[in-house]
Amino acid sequence: MTQKNDIENLISLFSKLPGLGQRSARRIVLHLLQEPEIRLHNLIEMLSITKSKIVTCEECYNLDIISPCNICSDHSRDQSVITIVESVADLWAMERAKIFDGTYHILGGALSASKNMLPNDLRLPKLIERCETHNIKEVILATNATIEGQTTAFFIMEQLKDLDLYISRIASGIPIGGELDYIDEGTLTAAMNSRKQFDN
Ligand SMILES: [Zn+2]
């Protein structure tokens, strides 16, 4: 077996990134290597800065360079409302759409037997603590419109039902099976605006 050379290893590393395959990985590596002193240098610099600064928010589990993150510490936002999402990508989708000016809570996934995501894997203790101690008035369940996302939304509602909260679920606009990160901003806006009170 021949040893892969370093350039091939780099291409292989890039090709494993989400959304990239072998062909785009090769194009990126070639682009970087054509002006390594500038392109590769800048990339290394930015990766290194990001690695040294990035932290997980102690409140909502967002990724940022401060904790509590810029959203949790922004008092021009409505700190009494929490939108619950599965992932940081979903939070970014909401922020891109500029449809919500409250705070978030990132679950880290959805309940799933196949992915072995169990209730204890969701970041619920912190969510309940926030609801109890931060004067939270409304919780919006914005988990994906997949079976896992729906199951998770019902499960969380059960966990929160004894607290004095208005609980809503994002509604129409999100296609069944749809993941927030892939939905255009108009559709996401419609879904947020037409959210309904969530109950059994
Ligand atoms: Zn935060």
Q: What is the pLDDT of residues 81-96, one digit of tens each?
A: 999 999 999 999 999 9
d(CA 82, ligand 1 centre) in Å? 11
d(CA 189, ligand 1 centre) in Å? 22
pLDDT higher than 70, residue 176 = no
Q: Is the peptide bond before 36 cis (omega within 30 degrees of 0)?
A: no
Q: Residue 175: its pLDDT value, please?
A: 66
d(CA 9, ligand 1 centre) in Å? 36
Query: Shortest CA distance to 160 belongs to which of 126, 110, 196?
Result: 126
Cβ contacts of 182 within 8 Å, gap of 6 or more: none
d(CA 70, ligand 1 centre) in Å? 7
Q: Residue 1: its pLDDT value, please?
A: 45
DSSP class of residue 103 equals: E
d(CA 33, ligand 1 centre) in Å? 37
d(CA 6, ligand 1 centre) in Å? 39
Q: At what angle do helices 22-34 and 6-15 cross, to 10 degrees?
A: 130
Cβ contacts of 13 within 8 Å, gap of 6 or more: 25
Q: Residue 189: its pLDDT value, please?
A: 78
pLDDT bucket at 188, cuts 50 / 70 / 90:
confident
pLDDT tens for 101-124 read 999 999 999 999 888 889 888 999
d(CA 45, ligand 1 centre) in Å? 26
CB-based burial, 96-121: b 16+ in 10 Å, e otherwise: ebebbebbbbbbebbbbeeeebeeee
d(CA 90, ligand 1 centre) in Å? 14
Tokens of 75: 């008092």
Q: Are 110 and 152 in contact (CB under 8 A)?
A: yes
d(CA 100, ligand 1 centre) in Å? 14
pLDDT higher than 50, residue 99 = yes
Say how far apart CA 180 and CA 187 lie, in whole Å.
10
pLDDT tens for 129-174 read 999 999 999 999 999 888 899 899 999 999 999 999 999 988 756 6
d(CA 68, ligand 1 centre) in Å? 5
d(CA 49, ligand 1 centre) in Å? 20
pLDDT tens for 34-83 read 999 999 999 999 999 999 999 999 999 999 999 999 999 999 999 999 99
Please state whether 78 falls in left (phi above 0), alpha (psi between -120 and 50) or beta.
Answer: beta
pLDDT higher than 70, residue 199 = no
d(CA 103, ligand 1 centre) in Å? 7
Q: Are 16 and 22 in contact (CB under 8 A)?
A: no
d(CA 104, ligand 1 centre) in Å? 7
d(CA 79, ligand 1 centre) in Å? 11
- Chain centroid to Cα 37, Å, comes to 34
Environment class of residue 48 by beta-carbon count within 10 Å: exposed (0-12), middle (13-18) or buried (19+)? exposed
Q: Residue 37: its pLDDT value, please?
A: 94
